[in-house]
Structure 1
Amino acid sequence: MNENRVAHYTVVIVGGGQAGLSTSYHLSRQGIDHLVIEKHRAMHAWETQRWDNFCLVTPNWQCDLPGHPYAGPEPDGFMKKDEILNYLREFRTKVDPPIREGVSVRRVTPRPEGGFLVATSAGDFSADNVVVASGGYHEPIVPRMAERLPPAIVQIHSAQYRNAGQLRDGPVLVVGSGQSGAQIAEDLHLAGRKVFLAVGNAPRCARFYRGRDVVTWLADMGYYDMPVEEHPLREGVRDNTNHYVTGRDGGRDIDLRKFALEGMELYGALRDVDGERLLFEPNLASALDEADRTYNGINAAIDRHIAAKGLEAPPPSVYEPVWQPPEERRVLDLAVTGIASIVWCIGFRPDFHWLDAPVFNGAGHPQHRRGITAREGVYFIGLPWLHTWGSGRFGSVGRDAAHIVAHIDARARQARRGSAA
């Protein structure tokens, strides 16, 4: 193809979720021409990769997409799936982005004369800048040992889970206890299903403490404005598993020990498959203890904040375990237990194979500073802890988008000054 006839844009945004549309919003305000390319439909993941009873785990007041703050009647509530979709549809209408939906980006390569060639399923485009807004959750992780499970077992990933009714009758094994795993285990438990849960190393936190939502306390303490460079773990925090908690039914703790008292069976991390036997690590007690240490540690930080500020609040408390594992069970027999389905909740891996740019580390994760890479013209937006805790969420993605757009604008102005000199 003759590149001279390829449509050219100052910016091409890959991904039409909240990150991509937030970037489009700020580009439009700066009068910068651009194109958003979305493989499916804008915001599709919220509709196609969330279960029926999904709801936010952060209060609605934290939803603050650019030009579109939450304006509903329950700022301290937690939007359910349908409400989230409506919120996002309204945002798209406000942004009115120049978007091509149903178009896959196949390859982004640098051009000898500068900028990039963007090869897609709908033809080629060129751009001075490429903003990768496709997130970091691309390929659902299912371990290879799953191939050795009996074929009668129904296996799905958390991204495919919708409700208890889609699974075969019988007990369900949920593997992983991060946000999705813990909430899906609860969803199945509340639906009356017998649940076995393989517990991972995810931390947990309280929903409410000393009279307020813990998120509200942490916001007052400045936690959500802390840049990654100031976090004790530095960039290592990007690899952390999210704390499990829920906004369901107005918000509450998720206490796996309480589930155990109610009949859910807890095991340690799943290690291997041996025919119809599942083998587990003997680490359930330590995993529960560590999650509780995090829970109490966050509350203790809130206690210190209240004391330092001289605030009035209900008295402090410390969580005491309501259940202890009687033993470390290391084997589970599928035939004996009758487990009919497994839900894998162990996350996703990134896939940026289509981007030809030397901006990745050995694990395939982009290296950047607040979304700006060392390769001129390549940017990332919407990744967890891109800059702060809220970078991958509705609360702060707009600020990151504004920062990136300001950098693109300054670069374009500098180029124009150089051409005029």
Structure 2
Amino acid sequence: MPNQEVEVLVVGGGQSGLAMSEHLSDCGLPHLVLERHRIAERWRSERWDSLVANGPAWHDRFPGLEFGDLAPDAFASKDQIAEYFEAYAEKIAAPIRTGVEVTSVQRKPGQHGFRVETSEGTIDARFVVAATGPFQRPVIPPIIPGDAGPEQIHSSTYRNPEQLPEGAVLVVGAGSSGVQIAEELRRSGRSVYLSVGPHDRPPRRYRGRDFVWWLGVLGKWDAETPPRGAEHVTIAVSGARGGQTVDFRALADLGINLVGLTSSFDNGTIRFAPDLGTNIADGDANYLSLLEEADAYIERYGLDLPEEPEAHELGPDPECVTDPMLELDLAAAGVTSIVWATGYAVDYGWLQVDALDEQGRPAHRRGISTEPGVYFLGLPWLARRGSSFIWGVWHDAKFVADHIAIQSTYQGH
């Protein structure tokens, strides 16, 4: 693929790259999508075996194609999602090349466009879209030394309970990944400790509607700034086992030992912040607030939806919350492995243009970067709360494609 020229180069062949390709085609813009592995590779090889989507099939998809083998309210498995994106690429005839890695993007001196170096040669592109998404570099906080004893892995490399050595497990992080992994490990017979930090905890369903529907009709998917000023808010929600509300009291009843935010480690003992009760209470407040807003919406519009008063009843806090464990001797507790469900960082080392801030994060407005001709797609809060979700990235891609089309017209005049 030496010395090729293209109008728009899209880097990344996951949900963001495919959404971008569809809208670029609709705008009549010649383009090429490069993917270093396979289409939707992260769904294939960087997720645990039993993972399903966190949203129902009617919602977590692109508008142009349904999940043909799933009921609308079912939750697609990771393999079904990968197959869905493969089918979508074929449906839109996406000009995608797999197995090609982009190693650098640099502006061409004194000209419009960029010189792109890849594992298969050089490409000149007038516009570049970074559609590699937010899950680029797994983050493990430097709290416990690697030689401390327990095996330590990130949730991106966790596959199933049999993968881990026999013994108890500490799961750090209580977002969607952490709670699902902790529950799976506990149901397999493991002794499990779950480190719970600040989080939002929506109901899975309420009064006959999934929480994604409620966030939609209440306008919350369209929020343009993160709550509490945070760049990322951990959401404890799950589609596992048919989709159930994440309830930390129920997890404690299952036998999971809840602890606070993991804070430090010394001489075989890990310490937890005394914030477990506060984190649980704040998650409960978020949960109850959404119920109240839903009730008000139903009353306002006269909807005939079944009442669900029991959803407002939380029950007493378990002992692990009222009398929290503040430290744990890992060896004495038999902890042989730690799963860090602590998220990801972006990595744009290949993007060697003035499109990043001092911390290496994208500098942009709705995906339009500070470097003319460079665009971002698939990031949390790119334009709104829904931006990093399957359906959300599709709508963001339309805005970006329209902007590229306008700029292409100016440059071509």
Could you report, residue by residue, the CA deviation over 1:11-30 in whole angstroms, capped at 9, with x for unpaired residues? 11111111101111222233
Shift in Å at residue 94 of structure 1? 1.3
Structure 1: state its 5+ residue gaps.
Answer: none
- 1:160 aligned partner, one-letter code: T
Shift in Å at residue 174 of structure 1? 0.3
Q: Secondary structure at the match of 1:145?
A: coil
Shift in Å at residue 148 of structure 1? 5.2
Name 2:280's counterpart in structure 1: 288
Name 2:412's counterpart in structure 1: 416
2:196 pairs with 1:199: yes
Name 1:318's counterpart in structure 2: 312
Q: Secondary structure at the match of 2:368?
A: coil
Could you report, residue by residue, the CA deviation over 1:254-281 in whole angstroms, capped at 9, with x for unpaired residues? 1122211221111111111112111111
Bigger mean CA offset, 317-326 vs 112-121? 317-326
Shift in Å at residue 149 of structure 1? 4.8
Name 1:121's counterpart in structure 2: 119
Contact kept? 2:201, 2:286, Cα under 8 Å:
yes
Correspondence 1:22-421 to 2 at 5 A? 22-65=19-62, 67-112=64-109, 113-147=111-145, 149-151=147-149, 153-224=150-221, 226-228=222-224, 236=229, 239-315=231-307, 316=309, 317-324=311-318, 325-417=321-413
Q: Secondary structure at the match of 1:383?
A: coil
| Residues 1:227 and 1:295: Cα distance change in structure 2 (over 3 Å) | closer
Bigger mean CA offset, 399-408 vs 363-372? 363-372
Contact kept? 1:260, 1:323, Cα under 8 Å:
no
Contact kept? 1:16, 1:42, Cα under 8 Å:
yes
Aligned length: 407
List structure 1 segments (4+ residues) > 3 angstroms apart after TM superposition. Answer: 69-73
Distance 1:123 1:83 in 2: 33
Bigger mean CA offset, 386-395 vs 172-181? 386-395
Structure 2: state its 5+ residue gaps.
Answer: none
Contact kept? 1:139, 1:351, Cα under 8 Å:
yes
Distance 1:258 1:290 in 2: 17
Distance 1:221 1:290 in 2: 20
Could you report, residue by residue, the CA deviation over 1:158-209 in whole angstroms, capped at 9, with x for unpaired residues? 0001111101111111011111111111111222211111111122111111
Bigger mean CA offset, 261-270 vs 316-325? 316-325
TM-score (norm 2): 0.93
Distance 2:288 2:313 in 1: 6
Could you report, residue by residue, the CA deviation over 1:190-249 in whole angstroms, capped at 9, with x for unpaired residues? 22211111111122111111222222222222333x2516x766xx45x22231121122
Distance 2:156 2:46 in 1: 5
Distance 1:37 1:366 in 2: 20
TM-score (norm 1): 0.91
Q: Secondary structure at the match of 1:336?
A: coil
Q: Secondary structure at the match of 2:353?
A: coil
Contact kept? 2:272, 2:327, Cα under 8 Å:
yes
Contact kept? 1:63, 1:70, Cα under 8 Å:
no
Q: Secondary structure at the match of 1:289?
A: helix
| Residues 1:106 and 1:73: Cα distance change in structure 2 (over 3 Å) | closer
Contact kept? 1:148, 1:273, Cα under 8 Å:
no
